[in-house]
Structure 1
Amino acid sequence: MTLSLPPRARLGRSALALAGSVALVASGSFAANAAPTYDASNNNSSKKLRSAVTVEKVVGHLTALDAIAEANGNTRSSGTEGYSASVDYIVGKLTAAGYKPTVQPFLFPFFAELSPAVLEQSTPDGVTYGPDDVATMTYSGAGEASGAIEAIDTTGTASATGTSGCEAADFAGFTPGSIALIQRGGCTFAVKAANAEEAGATAVIIFNTGVGANTGAVAGTLGAPDLVGIPVVGASFAAGTDLIGDDVTGRVVVDTISENRETYNVIAETSGGNPDNVVMIGAHLDSVLAGPGINDNGTGSAGILAVAEGMSKVKTANKVRFAWWGAEEEGLLGSEHYVADLVAKDQLDSVGLYLNFDMIGSPNFGRFVYDGDNSAFPVGPGAAEGPAGSGQIEQDFHDYFASVGLASGETAFSGRSDYGPFIAEGIPAGGLFTGAEGIKTAEQAALFGGVAGAPYDACYHAACDDTDNLSLTALDQMSDAVAHLTVTYAMSTLDVNGAGASVKGKGPKDRFEGNPLGGGTESGGGLHPEHDHDHDLADR
């Protein structure tokens, strides 16, 4: 497909009308009209499907998702009305296209900081600590506490080996009703805070070690809602030591919501095709709380929705299953739940491969393919091993881009997106990514265009990630690639996993051996790099 637009053209939030494709209902959710948006039903080849999956259709879905966010506090985060309305929209469009979508509910730990934490010393000095010195612990209880501040098993000296607050015995002599001051180290934040709460503390301050780079405010997590019910904040080493002493009093205020909430995955599949060799196509539907998430990851969600609409009547050799994941931004929770459910039902072997599309419209984009053979990003802390067959998926994407005269680089299986639970189970995987907070190099600017020295997406995880934050060029090129590989594997996955037969008429072709100039990025997906599953229980 082609589009007569200048490179990196952008949309305004109100630039495109919804044109009757969605209707706002009283509940705040959106319902699709009855007509599907594909132009032809027999899109059984790459050329036909790419012609049907126009960038205008993808943008139409993005405009609808942006309107949903605007109507719901500028967010589509899991656990919010904006996310529920996004689910309604996807389900409505799939139903209109002839699918029978299912909505898979699951519980997840929801946390929102409604206002910044407050930490004050009342006596002997009146001090209000700034944002560099205090941070709300994730999953902290809400509330306000004032009174004496009592240091627990610490003198405030810099130490990487202390165990302040790790044992109940540390609180012997602690005065109930006081605020506990604890130094980081030796055990999890949750253990420290729970011991303090059990001893009668009204709030907890956990300050940094003062060793090496560990001097600023501790931005930690308690692991889950309801483990600790009192306010818990992290503090800098300087603030913590400033609060040690006799007759020190202070005030702690935390304003949060911390609870388990229900959210959803949306699943839809073709009516035909081999159910024992399912081709899975996935993207996460949720945004972060801070913004509408139109690039991250409205683009992936809209792209695969347009592909699903375009091939809803195609007779496929393999069953194709589309998935829109919930709570990705909370730690890949939707895809983890789905894969765990398949394992529990002994159905995982039916999945032949998984393709992931997380951010495919970044304004300063790179054209990145997941490094399935680990040739650019060897297995290590920042790159997981691609299961057998993943290298072939990577090669097929590179071949496609080469066939249309486009260079492509590589991105690591860094664990930052929903391919993670699939590759952990040995399922061949691949996908596309146009870049997040990483910085475009001069080499990449020469390959892909755009601005060297600037982020791929300056609005990553921010309130400005709306329809102004898109490259239509990237969205056009990448949605074509999504369509190409989806219909290709719908017909045969023989080269990837040995299943099925070769496609008639498919012969030898020139191979494109990756990008000879490099041009890769290690970030590999849309989940923020600071979000670490081990972080939940680790004393960071």
Structure 2
Amino acid sequence: MTSPALAKPGNNGNPNNGKKMAAAVTAEAVMDHLQAFQDIADTHGDRAAGTPGYEASAAYVESTLQAAGYQTERQYFTFERFSVLESSLTVGSDPVDHIVMEYSPSGTVTGALESPAGVEGCAAEDWAGFTAGSVALISRGSCSFAEKSLNAAAAGASAAIVYNNTAGALNGTLGAPDPGYVPTVGITQAAGQELLAMDGATVTVHAVTELEDVETFNVLAETAKGRTDNVVMLGAHLDGVPDGPGINDNGSGSAAILETAVQLAKVNKLNNQVRFAWWGAEEEGLIGSWHYVEDLYYNSPEEIDDIATYLNFDMVGSPNYIIGVYDADESTYEAPVDVPEGSAATEAVFTDYFDSIGQPWVDTQFSGRSDYQGFIEVGIPASGLFTGADGVKTAEQVELFGGTAGVIYDPNYHTPADDIGNVDVEALEIMSKAIAHATITLAQDTSAINGERSAGKSGKAHPQGPLPTEEQPAA
């Protein structure tokens, strides 16, 4: 295993404010952690939950934290792991490159290729006149892959082929097992265009899949200093998808909070305890973070109230990046979930920092589609940072951040090419320093979020009690 990265010479010995902490957390050190994850993936093939690569990744995180003075804890749980044992897709006798979607059922079906009247297959009327027994050819977009597969089944399709709506492979998930699915695979946009011109051709879809119970774990660590009744929590998922290094998704977030933890350990006084989490099985459905929250909810519900806010970091080094902040104040995007009070103030810690250094940023939807989902479900404020996954970069975003319009933020998202060469170091540095700044800022003062304050840097509640808070209104 790669040795833990050591603190770089010249780092501030007591980085106790935002400016010092941002200077202490360097892109070089974060890249050292990413190189360790890359070496692990090179040795083991991937870093997916429940695999030797995940175990080695966790051991690296633990040894790095322990060298910095932390005690670490593993929180074990089990999950159902989906595997594809074999698959093929042929048109006539010609093979077509494809990826079986996660949670697709097994099956071998042959039928005539047919597109629904509404190419995205998201509404019942899209399937009017569809021929039962045909293999459905559907465009990505507007609804989930699960909805597409269920709608195809309801229309009598024997299988579903979903083609991408942008360049690149389509490695999708149906979200969870469901007996209503038909065998479902993803193909590229180019392959989809070719098949659209072959309506009625004979297609065979073959997939052998399985679900098995697997044990894995979260890695947890917290500062010994600071109030335990006003905890600031940071998290990033440590696991990657099978068959790839998972360096941007999400070695980048894991490495950034790891280096932040290393540097935070040097701070002499903290008002609020900081807890770090490296989640397992995020790629299997946010399972590790949900396990953590549910364990608190059912076994230690009083500890939920002790968490002042949760910061989430899932992909912070995308090659065609944006500097995105979860839009907790809904100033750009209406959230499809309830946004806990205090989340907008958490968002402002990031946006105020970016504004103070002249760094452009954009809102990304507060969707709940990452490891903050469980936290906001129990009312814990949250926000986070994101450089983009499979969304398409706009010309307006190119004006702000450079890169290429019309191309997804990470063309190697969920592919074997998500390696250390897939990381934009400039984006990683911008985001890592923002994470560092936010961590020490909230470690000293969360009064804007929940009113809680301390007297100086005493690490104790202020004798005059909390301050009133004024949540920022939605735009």
Is the structural similarity TM-score above 0.5?
A: yes
Q: How far apart in 2 are the matches of 1:358 and 1:319?
A: 22
In the other structure, the counterpart of 1:374 is: 330
Aligned runs of 1:345-494 on 2, under 5 Å?
A: 345=299, 346=301, 347-379=303-335, 383-494=336-447
Instruction: Specify every segment of 5 or more residues in structure 1 that has no aligned partner in the other structure, as ranges.
Output: 1-23, 25-29, 121-126, 151-156, 162-180, 194-203, 244-249, 505-512, 519-540
The yes-or-no answer on 1:70 pairing with 2:22 is no
The yes-or-no answer on 1:233 pairing with 2:183 is yes
Q: How far apart in 2 are the matches of 1:453 and 1:183?
A: 30
Q: Is contact 2:159-2:182 (8 Å) kept?
A: no
Q: Is contact 2:70-2:222 (8 Å) kept?
A: yes
Q: Which has the larger Rg? A: 1
Q: How far apart in 1 are the matches of 2:444 and 2:256?
A: 20
Q: How far apart in 2 are the matches of 1:220 and 1:325?
A: 19
Instruction: Point out the structure with the larger helix share.
Output: 2
Shift of 1:130: 5.3
Residue-by-residue CA offset, 1:467-498 (whole Å, 9 max, x unaligned): 11122111111111101110011011001111
Q: Which one-letter code corresponds to 2:56 in the other structure? A: A
Deviates more, 1:58-67 or 1:464-473: 464-473
Aligned runs of 1:114-513 on 2, under 5 Å?
A: 114-117=85-88, 127-128=92-93, 131=96, 136=100, 138-139=102-103, 206-207=158-159, 223-224=176-177, 233-234=183-184, 253-314=206-267, 315-345=269-299, 346=301, 347-379=303-335, 383-501=336-454
Residue-by-residue CA offset, 1:144-184 (whole Å, 9 max, x unaligned): x89xx99xxxxxx99959xxxxxxxxxxxxxxxxxxx7999
The yes-or-no answer on 1:52 pairing with 2:24 is yes
Normalised by the length of structure 1, the TM-score is 0.67
Q: Is contact 1:117-1:255 (8 Å) kept?
A: no
Q: How far apart in 1 are the matches of 2:383 and 2:272?
A: 18
Q: Is contact 1:368-1:409 (8 Å) kept?
A: yes
Cα RMSD over matched residues? Answer: 4.1
Q: How far apart in 2 are the matches of 1:241 and 1:483?
A: 57
Q: Which one-letter code corresponds to 1:427 in the other structure? A: I
Percent of residue pairs identical: 44
Q: How far apart in 1 are the matches of 2:134 and 2:298?
A: 42
Shift of 1:461: 1.5
In the other structure, the counterpart of 1:524 is: none
C-alpha change, 1:36 and 1:103, in structure 2 (3 Å) is farther
Q: How far apart in 1 are the matches of 2:287 and 2:390?
A: 22
Normalised by the length of structure 2, the TM-score is 0.75
In the other structure, the counterpart of 1:101 is: 72
Shift of 1:455: 2.3
Residue-by-residue CA offset, 1:73-100 (whole Å, 9 max, x unaligned): 2x21112221111111111111111101
Q: Which one-letter code corresponds to 2:82 in the other structure? A: F
C-alpha change, 1:223 and 1:375, in structure 2 (3 Å) is closer
Q: Which one-letter code corresponds to 2:393 in the other structure? A: K
Q: How far apart in 1 are the matches of 2:93 and 2:21?
A: 60
Q: How far apart in 2 are the matches of 1:50 and 1:220?
A: 37
Shift of 1:37: 6.1
In the other structure, the counterpart of 1:166 is: none
Residue-by-residue CA offset, 1:273-310 (whole Å, 9 max, x unaligned): 11111100111111112421111111111000000000
Q: How far apart in 1 are the matches of 2:430 and 2:223?
A: 24
C-alpha change, 1:476 and 1:60, in structure 2 (3 Å) is same
Residue-by-residue CA offset, 1:429-459 (whole Å, 9 max, x unaligned): 1111111122222222222223333322221
Q: How far apart in 2 are the matches of 1:37 and 1:98?
A: 16
